[in-house]
Amino acid sequence: MGLSIKGLTVSFLTGGHLVRAVDGVSLEIRNGSCLALVGESGSGKTTIGIACMGLLPSNAILDGIMELDGTPLDYSVQETARKIRWRRISMVFQSGAASLNPVKPVLDQVAEPMAVTLGSGWKEARRVAARAMELMGLGPDLHQRFPHELSGGQAQRVLLAMATILDPQVMILDEPTANLDVVTKAFVGELIGEAKKRGKALLLVGHDLDFVVRWADEVAVMYLGQTMEFLPAGRLLTSPWHPYSWALVRSYPSMRCNRDLGGIRGDALQRVTHQHGRNNPSAYFHSHDQAHGVGGGTSHAPEAGCLFWPRCTQALGACREGSVELTMQGNFGVRCLRGGVVELLRLKEVSKRYGETQALHPTDLGVRAGEVLCLVGETGSGKTTLAMIAAGVLRPDGGARLLDGRDMDETLQEDRAALARQVGIVYQDPASSVSHRFTVEEILAEPMKIHRAFPQEGIRDGVEDLLRKVHLPWDERFMALYPHELSQGTMQRVCLARALALRPKLLVADEPTSSLDPSAQAKVIRLLMELQIEEGLTLLFVTHDIGLARKIGDRLAVMLAGRIVELGPAATLLALPLHPYTQMLIRRAEDDVQERPMGQGSASPQGCAFAPRCKWAEERCLLESPPNLHLEDGDRTVRCFRFFDKGSESSMPRDSSGDLRGKVGNWS
Amino acid sequence: MHLEVGCTLRRDKCFTMGATVAGFMALMALVGPFVVPFDPQDMSFQPFARPSWAHPLGVNDGGQDILSELVHAVRNSLGFGALVGGLGLMLGVGVGLTAAWLGGLVGRLLMSCADVFMAIPSVMILILVAALFQPSAAVLAMVLVGLSWPTTAKAVRAQALALRSGLHVRAAAQMGASAWYVISRHLVPEMFPLYLIGFVAKARMAVFMEASLAFLGLFDPGRKSLGGMIQYALKYYYMDTWWNWLAPAVFCLSASIVAAGLLAISLEKVLDPRLRSLWG
Amino acid sequence: MGREANFRFSPKGKGLGSILTFASALFVLVCLSYVLPRLMPGDFVTAMFASSHVTLSANQESEARAYFQREEGFGEYLLRLARLDWGRSYALFQPVSSLILQALPWTLMLAVGAHLLASVCGFMIGVEAAWRRGTRVEKGLVGLMTMLEGVPEMAVGALLLAIFALQLHWLPTAGAQTPYVELSLWERLADTARHLALPMATLVISYLPGNFLLARNSMVMVLGEEFILTARAKGLPDRRVRYAHAARNALLPVVTRFGLRLAFMVTGVVVVETIFSYPGLGTLLFNAIRSRDLPLIQGVVLFSSGAVLSVNLALELVYSRIDPRTRHAP
């Protein structure tokens, strides 16, 4: 059965304010499994652990039910409380040596629960404690030491030994790996594994996502006291659903994730209620930092609606009202009005032909709100074409485009300008994308003037704002400069500012740094990333440099000869590239070795474009183009025959769009 | 920052109580001697007279008006306290800053001296000096100053060392500022809380010492002091004077010391965030 | 009676450092006691007789001078002190050392008893108050003790004397024992206790509040530490958490101050003994001051300072035993 928490709500009364730390959380930790709670500080995850132990301070107001193996946990009476604590549930605290009494030897502290709570007598308790400590890798020479004489890892092991000494059914681990070395971390992980095998229920609270993914079975993502998402641990780093989970994963330094840390826009908040009247205190939230408004211009946190909306990259008007429930589906749950991260842009079977050449074969692509999708490929791969089609600039020969659910062609017919307000474009050559007759101020004011979006007086302020955003001087002197008086890097920044003038949702950047020198390139990229986070933009980034794509992309799409040959999360794609072309690109980027001359080679238009250069090529690779294969464990697609099972195609299961679903077989 | 501190202080009950009483006593000390009707040394009245309109607190054994005596005594005691507090503070700050700035051997030497001085029971030295030389109150105050600087010196040194590694100090030094400039413009103003707390604590201790020494008869007998009054009042307890002679002196003395204590607590509460949780 | 701003008192270094500090302090005192008398304006003898009503003839003066004044070097002085030959009292014509030894037991009884009582009771009440933090009882107690701490011993002593001895006649007004009576052992003990009651009560009332506040604050800070949460989580009974874990740690700063508070008490003891005419070192000193008995003053000052310093030193060495963090301090 295990530990079950239903509707837990914890509020703290401090100095006339009511701070709600946990809001209606329900969790189920089955025996033999490990549930992890992840989130930022202030999410309430530690409070849940403490509430399970009945250790909330006296100014806490608790609501909800906690049950262990069916029987409710009742901490109100001292006697029953003492029978539960440590004997049935124990906790490993996060502070290492600070969680131990500084004046007693550690052996005594480990033995104490047995000697006092269980009443076994000190001699027996010390014997058992010594054995427990040895199991944790602490030799007898350490037993009589004091906490300040131990290293962080050793102190943590003492805490572990102490928690396991009465062999409780449930163990709560609060940040067990903070400040620990790798060896001890692995040790703790194995301990968790052992405990699971023995049928214990474990609750892991932490922000070490690597550790969580490795050792936990399920993860609940918490934000401001509510569960935002509930998913199997393995999916956390690769494909979470909720925008917050995703942003969290992006902010976390992990061996698997190559992209630079982004952070989450806005500031961490706290749920505070001022008690205006006894009956209906009006609830509002305080931001720690009220001077800087969060992207959308608000400086106060929301009164109603989804808790996350001020920091969300895809919030709608409806998100600000009402309350959002956690919708569960089997093992998965997500608390989002839009059902998780939505696709901002969806391209269906778009294609383009220029005369004889098929620049772009029918292609499907979905770009999620708030993500950075990189289109990687050599010249002529069709990436720019695809990007321009996605931006609404180029009309495809066939297929449909949906921007935020609305058909782009419809929008273009009804109101061209409306599309321009939603998409911003940064071109490859900054100099030629602006008129040489315009000053900086005029360049930046242009979009605003075209759309008559701002009153005359407001335009100057708007321009200053934009310049500030891209970290350029906003004085008269600078605004009066002409493009030829600026360096390439600065000009590109101005172009970036121009693209952002109308607050677009989607930003398409076509090789924006290829014509810049390296230091300017780095600066522009950094700025781009910063703005992407702060403005909540979705970025479609086109580049030929897979190294660059690795640094900035959430997902990569590798293109060759007008087709997307591989698509997937940047981390997994680069760690384990499936398509031979991707492998070659990576090898080339790493070793700078020219394997074979670039170009189409002697590929027949019917077959796979890479076949002439591919060492695994078979006959059929030259004859027909491989279909797009979706791989089960993650949202990766690859266009290569190697990944079919041996057997006929017709027996392969197909999904609704007609694509084949295949298993990842033995590939290396 | 000062405004904010001022607001918080005003809201603190400890502070208002302490400040009110201290203010009252200070007023008595400053203005009182000009207001009271008689010269305290004037011995022409009838000894042990009961309180009356002319002599609200009666007359003592030597024929002096008790009320005038009281007011002058308050002035002397509080003056002694303020003198020791102020000078002791300056000396402590000076030594502390020197130790922090020069560092090294000099700093350690100064701190060892501080340790030694802290270990010596100051009252004993005061008694020794007072008995041998029968100096004036001012000289005794100087001796006490010389014994009470260590606590402030240590606190100032610790704080100055921490500040010195702060960015604005390093920046000033890099800009070529002289040591004197850095100390006076950057270090000294930052340690304002220490000064307040140090002054109040020292003054309180000094008032207490002065009363004790006066009680033991170590001051010049002509000098009016609360401790001296208490001593005499006790001597003549059988004359049933303790209501009008003993009690006022006791009250004034206790009130001054308690007020200073309350001020010290509320100052610490407001200025040292670590202690805020203790008294909240 | 000053309050330091820092309740987290960091333990001092190795024992050697402390020994040096205290030895230096004692040395400074001895030097002062040697140097100061020689700095006096005029003569030792003139000073002694200056405030008396006696005028000496030239002959007597030179005799007195020969008797009292010895030209001795510092080394000789040190040796003399070490031999416990501290001169002769002028007013009482006895060796200073024997006078001190006579008065010492009474002072020890009073001072040590009061200090122990004030410390132990103050600590216990402080611990209990901190545990009940936030209740009206605790707030009231803290307020009361804060006020009480400011009232000096002479005030308390005067009040107690006035009320209990003079008005109510419950307890004696002076002395340590009733003189000139034959009493059995038990009666003698009871009599001594009755005489001891008021002086000790004065000292305890004066010094308990400071100890209380120190203990309470120390306990409050300890209760906020992480390991207390661990102790509660381990299912230990409240009482064990309160005493074996919390109070045990709260004890450390209190013990550090034990010696310091004893030093503060010196003033108090002198004053209180004077008020109650209790025949201890304090009264001895007071009378010596009144009669300008300089050898006696010097002797008492040196002796009591030395005693206080030694106690402090002993405490320094004890401290490392109870706080393991200082044993291996760098």
B278 to C301: CB separation less than 8 angstroms, yes or no: no
Decide: helix, strand or coil at residue A509: strand
> Could you give the ipTM of this predicted complex?
0.79
Chain A residue with Cα closest to C249? A103
Same domain, A485 and A389: yes
Mean pLDDT across C27-53: 71
Instruction: Give the distance from residue A118's alpha carbon to the nearest chain C alpha carbon, in angstroms.
Output: 9
C233 to A116: CB separation less than 8 angstroms, yes or no: no
Minimal Cβ distance to C28: which of B120, B209, B275: B120
Interchain contact C262–B (C-beta under 8 A):
no
A116 to C236: CB separation less than 8 angstroms, yes or no: yes
Strands A563-569 and A636-638, by their bridges, are: antiparallel
Return d(Cα C272, Cα C276) in angstroms, integer. Answer: 6
C289 to B120: CB separation less than 8 angstroms, yes or no: no
Inter-chain contacts counted by CB atoms under 8 A, chains A and C: 74
Interchain contact A167–C (C-beta under 8 A):
no
Interchain contact A179–C (C-beta under 8 A):
no
Same domain, A447 and A528: yes
Domain stop point among A502, A523, A555: A555
Dihedral pair phi/psi, residue A170, rounded to 5°? -120, 140
Query: Which of A95-104, A276-285, B43-52, C40-49 shows the lowest per-residue confidence on average (mean pLDDT)?
Result: A276-285
Mean pLDDT across C61-67: 66
Flag whether A656 is in a domain.
Answer: yes
Rounded percentage of chain C residues whose pLDDT exceeds 70: 83
Dihedral pair phi/psi, residue A607, rounded to 5°? -90, -170
pLDDT grade for C266, boundaries at 50, 70 and 90: confident
pLDDT grade for B90, boundaries at 50, 70 and 90: very high
Cβ B124 vs Cβ C304: under 8 Å:
yes
pLDDT grade for A275, boundaries at 50, 70 and 90: very low
Flag whether A589 is in a domain.
Answer: no
Return d(Cα A547, Cα B11) in angstroms, integer. Answer: 61
Instruction: Give the distance from residue B261's alpha carbon to the nearest chain C alpha carbon, in angstroms.
Output: 7
Interchain contact C149–B (C-beta under 8 A):
yes
CATH assignment of the domain containing A359: 3.40.50.300
Flag whether A488 is in a domain.
Answer: yes
pLDDT grade for A386, boundaries at 50, 70 and 90: very high
Decide: helix, strand or coil at residue A12: strand
- DSSP H helical segments within chain C, as ranges? 15-39, 44-50, 58-68, 74-82, 96-131, 136-150, 153-160, 185-223, 226-233, 238-240, 248-275, 281-290, 294-322
Same domain, A9 and A138: yes
Mean pLDDT across C301-324: 80
Q: What pLDDT digit, counting tens, does each position of C68-91 carry?
A: 566 667 777 777 777 777 777 767
Same domain, A186 and A117: yes
pLDDT grade for C329, boundaries at 50, 70 and 90: very low
Same domain, A26 and A173: yes
Flag whether A573 is in a domain.
Answer: no
Q: For residue B6, is pLDDT > 70?
A: no
Cβ A122 vs Cβ A105: under 8 Å:
no
Interface of A with C in 90-129 (CB under 8 A): 90-91, 93, 95, 98-103, 112-113, 116-117
Flag whether A31 is in a domain.
Answer: yes
Rounded percentage of chain B residues whose pLDDT exceeds 90: 7
Interchain contact C232–A (C-beta under 8 A):
yes
- DSSP H helical segments within B36-136, as ranges? 66-102, 104-119, 122-133
Instruction: Give the distance from residue C265's alpha carbon to the nearest chain A alpha carbon, in angstroms.
Output: 30
Q: What pLDDT digit, counting tens, does each position of A259-270 carry?
A: 666 666 666 565
Instruction: Give the distance from residue A390's alpha carbon to the nearest chain C alpha carbon, in angstroms.
Output: 56
- Two tokens at A610? 């890479």
Exposure class string for A217-246: b at 16+ Cβ within 10 A, else e: bbbbbbbbbbbbbbbebbbbbbbbbbbbbb
Give pLDDT, residue A259: 62
**DSSP bridge partners of A398:** A351
Query: Which of A384-398, A431-445, A482-496, B177-191 shows the lowest per-residue confidence on average (mean pLDDT)?
Result: B177-191
**DSSP bridge partners of B72:** none
Return d(Cα A242, Cα C41) in angstroms, integer. Answer: 90
Cβ contacts (< 8 Å) between B218 and chain C: which residues?
289
Average pLDDT, chain C: 79
Decide: helix, strand or coil at residue A228: strand
C234 to A149: CB separation less than 8 angstroms, yes or no: no
Return d(Cα A351, Cα A341) in angstroms, integer. Answer: 26
Identity of residue A199 = G
Return d(Cα A220, Cα A16) in angstroms, integer. Answer: 31
Return d(Cα A436, Cα A443) in angstroms, integer. Answer: 10
Range of the domain at A549: 347-555
Flag whether A584 is in a domain.
Answer: no
Same domain, A141 and A67: yes
Domain stop point among A530, A555, A580: A555
Chains that touch C (3 or more CB pairs under 8 A): A, B
Interchain contact C163–B (C-beta under 8 A):
no
Interchain contact C255–A (C-beta under 8 A):
no
Domain stop point among A233, A265, A280: A233
Cβ contacts (< 8 Å) between A116 and chain C: which residues?
236-237, 240
Q: How many domains does chain A have?
A: 3
Cβ A369 vs Cβ A342: under 8 Å:
yes
How deeply is A149 buried, as exposed, middle or buried, from its count of CB atoms within 10 A (0-12, 13-18, 19+)? middle
Q: For residue B87, is pLDDT > 90?
A: yes
**DSSP bridge partners of A45:** none
| Location of structure tokens 């009669």 | C291
Cβ contacts (< 8 Å) between C252 and chain A: which residues?
103
Same domain, A601 and A548: no
Chain C residue with Cα closest to B195? C5
Q: Distance from CA of residue B1 to its chain's centroid?
A: 26
Same domain, A633 and A484: no
Q: For residue A446, is pLDDT > 50?
A: yes
B277 to C220: CB separation less than 8 angstroms, yes or no: yes
Same domain, A531 and A622: no
Q: For residue C31, is pLDDT > 60?
A: yes
Return d(Cα B218, Cα A319) in angstroms, integer. Answer: 81
**Residue A261, CB half-sphere, CA atoms under 13 Å: how many?**
8
Chains that touch B (3 or more CB pairs under 8 A): C
Give pLDDT, residue C9: 35
Flag whether A203 is in a domain.
Answer: yes
Mean pLDDT across A65-70: 87
Nearest Cα residue to A368 out of A250, A231, A524:
A250
Chain A residue with Cα closest to C241? A101
Same domain, A526 and A443: yes
Nearest Cα residue to B75 out of B27, B23, B145:
B27
Decide: helix, strand or coil at residue A24: strand
B128 to C32: CB separation less than 8 angstroms, yes or no: yes
Residues 6 or more apart whose CB falls under 8 angstroms from that of B148 comprise B84, B88, B92, B122, B202, B205, B206
Best to test chain B binding among C271, C275, C278, C297 (most B CBs inside 10 Å) = C271
Exposure class string for A68-96: b at 16+ Cβ within 10 A, else e: beeeebebeeeeebbebbbbbbbbbbbbb
Return d(Cα A390, Cα A364) in angstroms, integer. Answer: 11
Strands A398-403 and A343-354, by their bridges, are: antiparallel
Give pLDDT, residue A292: 29
Mean pLDDT across A472-478: 89
Flag whether A269 is in a domain.
Answer: no
Q: For residue B250, is pLDDT > 90?
A: no
Chain B residue with Cα closest to C51? B134
C301 to B208: CB separation less than 8 angstroms, yes or no: no
A103 to C322: CB separation less than 8 angstroms, yes or no: yes
Angle at C278 between CA B69 and CA C163, to 5 degrees: 60
Query: Which of A290-294, A545-549, A574-578 shows the lowest per-residue confidence on average (mean pLDDT)?
Result: A290-294
- Please tell me which residue, C102 or C68, carries the higher pLDDT value: C102
Q: For residue B18, is pLDDT > 90?
A: no
Cβ contacts (< 8 Å) between C232 and chain A: which residues?
55, 85
Same domain, A225 and A357: no
Return d(Cα B60, Cα B37) in angstroms, integer. Answer: 16
Return d(Cα C134, Cα C124) in angstroms, integer. Answer: 18
A102 to C249: CB separation less than 8 angstroms, yes or no: yes
B116 to C147: CB separation less than 8 angstroms, yes or no: no
Chains that touch A (3 or more CB pairs under 8 A): C
Same domain, A9 and A156: yes
